[in-house]
Structure 1
Amino acid sequence: MLYPDEQRVLDAARAQAAVLTGRPEHTVAAAALDTTGRVHTGVNVHHFTGGPCAELVVLGAAAAAGAGPLMLVAAVGDGGRDVLPPCGRCRQVLLDLHPDAHVVVPGDAGPRTVPVRALLPDSYRQPDAAPERLVRFSAAYYDDVAAGRKTTTVRHDDPVVTGPAWLVFEEDGDVPVRRLPGVVESVEPRLLDPAVPTDAALHRSLRRHYPALPPDAALDVVTFRVVPG
């Protein structure tokens, strides 16, 4: 199942695809969610000299609207083709410019989301790219993070880098996407030891977020702070 903000983005892409006129120049629609909760849309521009895919058009539309890093991108084909995975070029561009974004892809049980980095393992990285970063949280943590009561988070197979980052809180029912400016101060790797009672308890807690987490998982302990203003 998709989370509410993911479904909202997919619905926007589907709505945009539904109004395409059947012209061969425009056959795919895309939508993207930014860290303020806005959804941006665009369509591809096919031409014999080459032309941008819908995902690249929506990146430009989001940038023109003053969006920062994007959280999610979805593309939908015309003629009932529904969700389309991004092509190789779009995967590379997304990874370089929005490395923390997730992408909606087709699945056996329906659309699902994956981190863009999972679509390009062992990828080339543009050496001079300096994208804005983000760290995702459940909406339930907003008050504790905003008040400085929560300054650490534990991640599994979810890379976080040190430096400035938006701390982004997912949409939850009537609570919209929210964000706080922050800084990731440290990322310390550690291994869970199932023989240690505190690690076993941590494992049970983390399985709410990572259902398939093994008892001896490799984790990252992330320390962060909110930047005032």
Structure 2
Amino acid sequence: MEPLESERRVISAAESLARTLGDNPNHTVAAAAMDTRGNIHTAVNVYHFTGGPCAELAVLGVAAASTAGPLLTMAAAGDGGRGLISPCGRCRQVMLDLQPDLLVAVPGDDGPVMRPVRQLLPDTYFFQDAAARRVVRFNKRYYEAVAAGQKTVTVRWDDPITIGPVTYVFEDHPQSPTLEGDVVAVDRYTLDTLTAEQAKMSSAADVTTLKAGLQSHYPNMPSDATVDVVTFTVRQTSS
């Protein structure tokens, strides 16, 4: 998928920092990562024959030192005009374990594209003890409905969401608001047989509109795809 405006800022931050490198062979790659508050953290690699950290791992540490919490986007760029580069295998595994909902910028035929980190490591081992904080993304237009408790169900395809505590983020929202809550149920159905009751909607017309919207949002989704109906709550903060 093409980068959102906020994701392009992360790519730009990595590429800008990479352009300042080149005089020191021990620092040849820059990385940038954005947290749920819209803050962008940057770092460079530390090359050493014993296995110094890549820039992507260094920026994980920088973000942690700033108590950034879950990260949404990562990008890395090489010195010498190499531009955007893909993460190595070790970095992919670490990012998957510590930031499982991360979107990673990688070079594509027509420019940068965003990939869920899990797609960069298909069939990989997953380190469950990492206890990573999970993130659920929404379009920014849903913020008011989610915050007010009016929207409590979302239907997803090829977007694994697990039961438990989560942080809700609203992509490209100008204030970068977040909400805390819990996913309380994930029910799996096939799209072509999905009913209004299963989708927790009021009518057949509503579920027909939902299916059309899903097909538009996921253009590669087959008509008989398996989808997840995710039920969630928002925790009310005390005033």
8 Å Cα contact 2:189-2:228 kept in structure 1: yes
Name 2:142's counterpart in structure 1. Answer: 141
Structure 1 segment 170-181 matched on structure 2, within 5 A: 170-172=171-173, 175-181=174-180
Deviation of 1:22 after TM superposition, in Å, equals 2.5
Deviation of 1:200 after TM superposition, in Å, equals 4.3
8 Å Cα contact 1:188-1:222 kept in structure 2: yes
Deviation of 1:151 after TM superposition, in Å, equals 0.3
Tell me which amino acid in the other structure corresponds to 1:202.
L
Tell me which amino acid in the other structure corresponds to 2:135.
L
1:214 aligns with 2:215: no
Q: For residue 142 of structure 2, give the secondary structure of its aligned residue in structure 1.
A: helix
1:100 aligns with 2:117: no
Aligned equivalents of 1:134, 1:178: Cα separation in 2 = 13
8 Å Cα contact 1:193-1:200 kept in structure 2: no
* TM-score under structure 1 length normalisation: 0.95
Aligned equivalents of 1:66, 1:190: Cα separation in 2 = 38
Deviation of 1:195 after TM superposition, in Å, equals 9.8
Deviation of 1:178 after TM superposition, in Å, equals 1.9
Tell me which amino acid in the other structure corresponds to 1:10.
I
Name 1:120's counterpart in structure 2. Answer: 121
Aligned equivalents of 1:12, 1:132: Cα separation in 2 = 25
Name 2:152's counterpart in structure 1. Answer: 151
1:48 aligns with 2:56: no
Tell me which amino acid in the other structure corresponds to 2:213.
S
Tell me which amino acid in the other structure corresponds to 2:214.
L
Q: For residue 111 of structure 2, give the secondary structure of its aligned residue in structure 1.
A: coil
Name 2:182's counterpart in structure 1. Answer: 183
Deviation of 1:128 after TM superposition, in Å, equals 1.5
8 Å Cα contact 1:20-1:26 kept in structure 2: yes
8 Å Cα contact 2:97-2:128 kept in structure 1: no
* Stretch moving more, 65-74 or 15-24: 15-24
Tell me which amino acid in the other structure corresponds to 2:186.
V
8 Å Cα contact 1:203-1:215 kept in structure 2: no
CA deviation digits over 1:70-119, x for unaligned, max 9?
11100000111111110000000000000010100011111100000001
8 Å Cα contact 2:22-2:80 kept in structure 1: no
Deviation of 1:207 after TM superposition, in Å, equals 2.5
Deviation of 1:192 after TM superposition, in Å, equals 1.4
Aligned equivalents of 1:214, 1:14: Cα separation in 2 = 36
Deviation of 1:212 after TM superposition, in Å, equals 2.1
Deviation of 1:33 after TM superposition, in Å, equals 0.6
Q: For residue 150 of structure 2, give the secondary structure of its aligned residue in structure 1.
A: coil
8 Å Cα contact 1:44-1:54 kept in structure 2: yes
CA deviation digits over 1:196-225, x for unaligned, max 9?
765543321112321222222210000001
Name 1:228's counterpart in structure 2. Answer: 236
CA-based RMSD: 1.5
Tell me which amino acid in the other structure corresponds to 2:231.
T
8 Å Cα contact 1:200-1:215 kept in structure 2: no
Name 2:88's counterpart in structure 1. Answer: 87
8 Å Cα contact 1:25-1:44 kept in structure 2: yes
1:161/1:195 CA distance change after superposition, 3 Å: closer
1:33 aligns with 2:34: yes
Q: For residue 168 of structure 2, give the secondary structure of its aligned residue in structure 1.
A: strand
8 Å Cα contact 1:16-1:29 kept in structure 2: yes
Aligned equivalents of 1:5, 1:162: Cα separation in 2 = 27
8 Å Cα contact 1:170-1:176 kept in structure 2: no
* TM-score under structure 2 length normalisation: 0.91
Aligned equivalents of 2:226, 2:13: Cα separation in 1 = 37
Identity across matched positions, percent: 55
